Amino acid sequence: MRQLTGRQAVAEALMEEMMRDEKVFLLGEDIGIYGGAFGVTAGFIEKFGPERVRNTPISEAAIVGAAVGASMTGMRPVCEIMFMDFVTIASDQLVNQAAKLRFMFGGQAKAPMVLRTPAGAAAAGGQHTQSLEAWFTHIPGLKVVMPSTPYDLKGLLKASIRDDNPVLFVEHKLGYGEKGEVPEEDYVIPLGVADIKREGKDVTIIATSHMVFKALEAAKYLEQKEGIDAEVVDPRTLVPLDIDTIVNSVCKTGRAVIVHEACERGGVGGEIAARIIDSRAFDYLDAPIKRVGGLNIPVPYCPVLEKAYIPSVEKIVKAVKEVVY
């Protein structure tokens, strides 16, 4: 099967959906001639024109506000916010408008829109590297998608664009360069379906976004050096969350380690741990659930300090050994 980078997978999903449905259009800063901050939409304006690839002013509130309004009229906008940190500037439009529309209007209105945004540390400092997904999982009415592999990026983005609800689609900056198998034929991955990236019997590692790659690396090390067979589960979507797959895995292994790049305090790991404890998996646990998250500090710009901030393979291995031994 052919290999694509995460960047190519996202671009291909956008291209195919724009060709499939003329109601799909893009808007964001520098997405036209420049091709977007990370080059995802390079060549799009030449193919679809400025009506469907709309360069916007430097105003996140305007970008998301325009997307909300367009979605209410039957369009399917895909807006790009250059860094996830900047979604805070558009939080009213996303949290108080898009997420509430269907409820406030008794189902007479809806907001079928996607907000794409890159998150995660990549040597860009404390205002350009945050992972704020946990904030938005708290908001009823929003769907939150956080893929890892190119295969998942493409299939889940296509599903998000076709969804009739507002979707926050979180892409990791480092994931744009990761390569993986992507079929040539059309496919869609349903939202709310987790994926077992590696099967195992001794411990369940639940990892999100780019941490999936580190979890797989840790699992390989644990098998070779410690004789520990780790199962790696990628939720892929945080809302809706496929808790059944997670619970079934924990029931099988009896142990759970949750890994995410965002600050550990208040991160999605706490919610996932609570859901495991509230389920039948609680009776199968042989050790306390461990969380491995980013340090509870702003993300440092210095590469050495940033590396210390991010969960590492070594930290994941340490957490697994603590629950296994």
- Is the pLDDT at 47 greater than 90? The verdict is yes
What does the pLDDT look like over 139-176, one tens digit per residue? Answer: 999 999 999 999 999 999 999 999 999 999 999 999 99
Which residues are catalytically annotated? 128
- Is the pLDDT at 91 greater than 90? The verdict is yes
Residue 28 phi, psi (nearest 5): 165, 175
Q: Which residues pair with 237 in a beta bridge?
A: 145
What does the pLDDT look like over 58-74, one tens digit per residue? Answer: 999 999 999 999 999 99
Mean pLDDT of 175-202: 97
With beta carbons less than 8 A apart as the criterion, state whether 32 and 53 touch.
Answer: yes
- Is the pLDDT at 258 greater than 90? The verdict is yes
Residue 75 phi, psi (nearest 5): -80, 165
Tell me what pLDDT residue 23 has.
98
Side-chain half-sphere CA neighbours of 266 within 13 A: 11
Tell me what pLDDT residue 110 has.
96
- DSSP helix/strand/coil, 79: strand
What stretches of 31-183 show up as alpha helix (H) in DSSP? 44-48, 60-72, 91, 101-104, 133-137, 150-162
What does the pLDDT look like over 218-235, one tens digit per residue? Answer: 999 999 999 999 999 999
pLDDT over 90 percentage in the chain: 98
- DSSP helix/strand/coil, 171: strand
What does the pLDDT look like over 21-40, one tens digit per residue? Answer: 999 999 999 999 999 999 99
Mean pLDDT of 201-220: 98
Domains, the chain, in order of start with CATH, read 3-181 (3.40.50.970), 195-324 (3.40.50.920)
Residue 22: Cβ-neighbour burial (10 angstroms; 0-12, 13-18, 19+): exposed
Average pLDDT, the chain: 97
- Is the pLDDT at 123 greater than 90? The verdict is no
Mean pLDDT of 281-286: 98
With beta carbons less than 8 A apart as the criterion, state whether 122 and 174 touch.
Answer: yes
Mean pLDDT of 169-197: 97
Structure token pair of residue 107: 């189902």
Mean pLDDT of 202-220: 98
Structure token pair of residue 248: 């079934």
Residue (of 148, 92, 87) closest to 115 by Cα position: 87
- Is the pLDDT at 122 greater than 90? The verdict is no
What stretches of the chain show up as alpha helix (H) in DSSP? 6-20, 44-48, 60-72, 91, 101-104, 133-137, 150-162, 211-221, 243-253, 268-277, 303-309, 313-324
